[in-house]
Structure 1
């Protein structure tokens, strides 16, 4: 049987999950995309630091993502940031 502390922790996590979901549902699609892009950027930077510290190499799919994100595409009419 779970003790009181475990039950409190679970209840707190449920409250935080509900609050987070409500916040994310209140965002516009453009804001959701902006948050996703920011999350991807931060994750890629984490991978860069991990590799720089002697950890595993950056996976190929993330290297492709980085290249596609920052190199100009040869697509007529495509406007990049």
Structure 2
């Protein structure tokens, strides 16, 4: 896969996934499609990251260690409209 340079205009996608192989697969596909993906593998790390570095899109697993994905989704919705 070819990776293009990422700049400040590149859409940022947060991947919240605790399965390493699936997380890496998503990163590879998104980079090849000229996105800037970030992977977080534990629910407790998501809210601080989203507040500090709001992504353009979040791909959120429902079954996570730390905090359940649906709970995270509800919490994020309280302060953001990120899809």
**TM-score of the pair, normalised by structure 1:** 0.26
* Larger strand fraction of residues: 2
More helix by share: 1
User: Please, what TM-score do these two structures have when normalized by structure 2?
Assistant: 0.25
Q: Which has the higher contact order (CA 8 A, sep 6+)?
A: 2
